[in-house]
Amino acid sequence: MINLPRRTSIIATIGTVTESAEMLEKLMKAGMNIARINMSHAKHDQVRKVVTNIRETSQRRNYAAGILMDVQGPAIRTGELQEAMHLKPGERVALTVRGETSDEHRSVHVNYDHLVDDLKVGDTVLIDNGEIHLKVYAKHRNQLHCEVITDGVLGSRRHINLPGVRVNLPALTDKDLKDIDLGIDLGVDFFAMSFVREASDILKLKGILDYRKAPQKIIAKLEDQQGISNLDEIIEVADAVMVARGDLGIECPYEELPIIQRRMVKKCISKGRPVIVATHMLESMIENPSPTRAEITDVANAVFEQADAIMLSGETSTGKYPVQCIELMNRIARRTERSGGAGYAELAELDSEQAKLMKAACVLTDELEAKALVIFTRTGSTARHAAWLRPENTTIYAFTNDAKLYNQMTLNWGTDPFLIQFDEDEPSNTVDAALEVLKKYGRIKQRETIVLVTEVRVKNKMVVTIQMKEVE
């Protein structure tokens, strides 16, 4: 196989250890394609500063870097405690809602008013990322009486999971709406929507973006059983999907998680939706300079499945070795990609004439053993279709005159985006300028064969053309 640039994008969460311009430049140099801002922790003043640093660093390096704002979503949490509770198996604890207090010696308030209504006796409550297991044994007014199954320390504002329970939570909270307004004003490239349970959740955010005439793409984070059961309809309306294995691994049986990941990646690729595999990929490197062997294999599996992107969380936001994490991901991805992929793109359900045309371009590129598939796009659809088809032996170089699209194409598998001015009067000048850029950066050389895909305006209509060309 030809030695190609890395095709899998790397998303890095930005936090206190990586928010400076100096560190962002190191992350980009190491191979970060998209910077994630986690709104569960970030404050607005901090977000403004980080976005400015990312844009300025990206522009200075002439390097495409997308910005993903991860919206917190509706979270069920315990309330404030004066002191932590040390819980042991067999003990009893009461969870209270709607401001009610309990006579139980150990009780804690929960911010979800419908908790008692939604759960039944025998249901399981998981607290603090599944560290503490409780089982419901009785319900009384606004109190849920539980038995402790596993020991643990219960502190204030701990996250609660309710496996298999259909909860009555809003798709977006007041905090989310304020964060989304900020993201629109700052011009981030993607919104990741947490705890997506059905297509209507995505449509709510789409309605906001349409009303604001905002160009951001929406990534649906699937984190519970209800979202997985509605996978097909969510894929239809989302711009991309994230396999959010943190909460998903708590909500679903452990042994089901690898199967769910593979099913989601396979389905997304067949439908032409970018897909991200996230959470715990190099978790041990938050503290240690080297990963576990299992983590290396986990990253390699996601790359082999040909996910569009793999994501780091605490590893780059608060960890001790953020740059090394990205460098390692880059090495694992490049090596795994040379060994081949799962081939899910063979199942692509081509849904338009343009998608079928791009398949012809990809086949032509492979048949000619062309060095590059060079695409000129105003809308991003041709570049997205090319990435969807996962061409094996070439790189997709996507040129656009739209700065927003330039950054958004960082999520496309196997795509190297470039921003140039289009010559509307003489399209051949645009092609010549693009090829000069590729030669300048050593992407192509004289006498190499390339395939060009252009969008040409003919009588107010965009027409896609495919050409074969030898580099001069």
Taking only the tens place, the pLDDT of each residue in 432-458 is 999 999 999 999 999 999 999 997 777
Q: Which is the catalytic residue, given 197, 221, 273, 371? A: 221
Quickly state the pLDDT bin for 3 (edges 50, 70, 90): low
Choosing from 18, 57, 78, 279, the catalytic residue is 279
469 assigned to active site: no
Let me know if 279 is a catalytic residue: yes
**Mean pLDDT for the chain overall:** 94
SS3 145: strand
Active site residue 221: yes
Q: Which position among 77, 175, 206, 404 bears the catalytic label? A: 77
CB-side neighbour CA atoms (13 Å) of 451: 25
β-pairing verdict for 9-13 and 34-38? parallel
Band the pLDDT of 1: cuts 50, 70, 90.
very low
Q: What percent of the chain has pLDDT over 70?
A: 99
Chain centroid to CA 374: how far? Answer: 25
What does each C-alpha distance from 301 to 274, 402, 458 come to in angstroms? 17, 34, 45
What value does the mean pLDDT take over residues 193-203?
Answer: 97
Instruction: Give yes or no for residue 393 having a pLDDT over 90.
Output: no
Dihedral angle over CA of 357, 359, 363, 368, nearest 10: 50
Cα dihedral 238, 243, 249, 252 sign: positive
Q: Does position 102 have pLDDT exceeding 80, yes or no? A: no
Torsion angle in degrees (nearest 10) through CA of 253, 250, 344, 70: 170
What would the pLDDT profile of 212-225 be if each residue is shown by its tens digit?
A: 999 999 999 999 99
36 is catalytic: yes
- Domains of the chain plus CATH, in order, are 9-74+170-340 (3.20.20.60), 85-161 (2.40.33.10), 350-470 (3.40.1380.20)
- pLDDT reading at 248 higher than 80: yes
Which of 36, 197, 271, 371 is labelled catalytic?
36
- Contact between residue 241 and residue 275 where contact means Cβ atoms under 8 Å apart: yes
Q: Residue 2 pLDDT more than 80? A: no
Q: Measure the CA–CA gap between 49 and 67, rounded to whole angstroms.
A: 13
